[in-house]
Amino acid sequence: MKSVYFDNAATTPMRDEVVDAIAEVLRNNFGNPSSSHSFGRASKVLVEKSRKLIAKHLNVSAGEIVFTSGGTEADNLVLNSAVKDLGVTHIITSKIEHHAVLHTVKKLQNEFKIQVSYLDLDHKGEIDFSQLEHLLQSESKTLVSLMHINNEIGNIIDIKRVADLCKQNRALFHSDAVQSVGHYNLDLQNVPVDFIAASAHKFHGPKGVGFAFIRKNSGLKPLIVGGEQERGLRAGTESIHNIVGMEVAIKEAYNKLNEETVFIKGLKQYFIDEIKKEIPNVKFNGCSDDLEKSTYTLVNVCLPIPVKKEDMLLFQLDLKGIACSKGSACQSGSSQVSHVLSEILKGEDLQKPSIRFSFSKYNSKAEVDYLINVLKAFIG
């Protein structure tokens, strides 16, 4: 049986260079970075070297990078402290954000009675900028939380435009950039975002590690307390091997960004062309078939399959060795329709199966051909 992995938006395989770097640290650097002896100092050097390299790729200072367990923790850190410590009483977001944001915002609304405004979306899932401008006129202390790239439909938001609007209106701006760090150049000196969240396993790094970018002098306080690690913003002994693995992953991602972007973008376009040709009634969700308005790494399709056959589709794909997803991996096992698609699809299209296929440097056109043939045979 073939084994084809088209679920790279959920997680990516680690690069060999990352695995080698992690193994090297596990063998040779077990010291606690907070210890003052030579073993601890050696580990501390590795952590700070990684911090500097990651900061360099985002054009920020090393002190603005705080290591976390991943994107979810980074989102929670920023949103919780913004309300509890910075006095934010109004959050502007959208209903197609990752649940790490949506569930945290709902919790804060219930606990602190803050105002939450959800931006209107068109049928492609794009936000209404005029509404955003209007909401930013609020007298309340406001934070905007909008993801740079949607993890289910791939829509890219104009992060610079949002950041500039927030700055003009003295609002804070947080962006979940989990799907864009390592895949797009982000110059955070040019984009005045206050906070971003990132996760290593989305760009061929290890799971269990990520970071928050926190603009200098933000006033944020820690979510996890107990020690002075990460300049007092995240207690707990740093996972040195994972941090070094993330450093290598981000370095390799940006060193090879141009060639890998061209390859993966070509693969996505090939998929779009082939599925249109072989399955004429296919529809594309969000802006995922537009390579200018969506990420080059994923496509989300609504397939012309009767509702009664929908439950068998993912099972059949899995039987054929094809890994893909109905939505976010964080919702796996849930029988509910994707919260993202529920906001933008109507009627019959919402009942039909929608599948997210996401690509990486490790995929090929032959795998796309195999996938299209399996889908075509299933539809009949």
24 is in which domain, residue-wise? Answer: 16-255
Q: Which two structure tokens, joined as six digits, stand for 187?
A: 């110059």
Domain end: 203, 234, 255, which one? 255
CA distances (Å), 101 to each of 39, 70, 146, 211, in order?
Answer: 38, 13, 9, 15
Beta bridge partners, 91, equal 116, 143
Q: What is the pLDDT of residue 318?
A: 95
Q: What is the pLDDT of residue 309?
A: 82
Which pTM does this prediction carry? 0.96
Domain end: 229, 255, 281, which one? 255
236 with 266, same domain?
no
151 with 264, same domain?
no
204 with 270, same domain?
no
Which of 166, 287, 324, 330 is the catalytic position? 330
**330 is an active site residue:** yes
128 with 261, same domain?
no
129 with 42, same domain?
yes
322 with 241, same domain?
no
User: Do 153 and 287 meet the contact criterion of CB atoms below 8 Å apart?
Assistant: yes
**How many C-beta atoms lie closer than 10 Å to residue 169's C-beta?**
15
CATH number reported for the structural domain that contains residue 336 in this entry: 3.90.1150.10
Q: What is the pLDDT of residue 144?
A: 98
Minimal CA–CA distance to 154: which of 257, 253, 262, 268?
268
Domain end: 255, 288, 320, which one? 255
Q: What is the pLDDT of residues 120-130, one digit of tens each?
A: 999 999 999 99
Q: What is the pLDDT of residues 100-121, one digit of tens each?
A: 999 999 999 999 999 999 999 9
Q: Are strands 115-118 and 142-145 parallel, antiparallel or unpaired?
A: unpaired
243 with 354, same domain?
no
User: Do 31 and 39 meet the contact criterion of CB atoms below 8 Å apart?
Assistant: yes
166 with 103, same domain?
yes
Q: How confident is the model at residue 335 (pLDDT cuts 50, 70, 90)?
A: low
48 with 23, same domain?
yes
Q: Give strand ranges (E) for the chain.
A: 4-5, 65-68, 90-93, 115-118, 142-145, 172-176, 195-199, 210-214, 283-284, 298-302, 322-323, 354-358
Place of tokens 């539809």: 379
| Region 361-365 average pLDDT | 98
Q: What is the pLDDT of residue 337?
A: 82
Q: What is the pLDDT of residue 328?
A: 55
One-letter amino acid of 309: K
64 with 202, same domain?
yes
Q: What is the pLDDT of residue 200?
A: 98
| Region 56-76 average pLDDT | 98
How far apart (Å, rounded) are the C-alpha atoms in residues 104 and 116? Answer: 12
Domain count, the chain: 2
Q: What is the pLDDT of residues 134-158, one digit of tens each?
A: 999 999 999 999 999 999 999 999 9
Sequence-ordered list of residues with C-beta below 8 angstroms from that of 227, at least 6 positions apart, any chain: 34, 235, 236, 237
User: Do 214 and 82 meet the contact criterion of CB atoms below 8 Å apart?
Assistant: no
81 with 197, same domain?
yes
Q: Higher-confidence residue: 191 or 380?
A: 191
How far apart (Å, rounded) are the C-alpha atoms in residues 148 and 134? Answer: 21
50 with 121, same domain?
yes
SS3 state at 158: coil
How far apart (Å, rounded) are the C-alpha atoms in residues 69 and 329? Answer: 17
Q: What is the pLDDT of residues 246-286, one digit of tens each?
A: 999 999 999 999 999 999 999 999 999 999 999 999 999 99
Positive/negative CA dihedral, 175, 176, 179, 180 = positive
* Percent of the chain topping pLDDT 70: 97
CATH number reported for the structural domain that contains residue 92 in this entry: 3.40.640.10
Q: What is the pLDDT of residue 301?
A: 97
**Does residue 66 carry a pLDDT above 80?**
yes
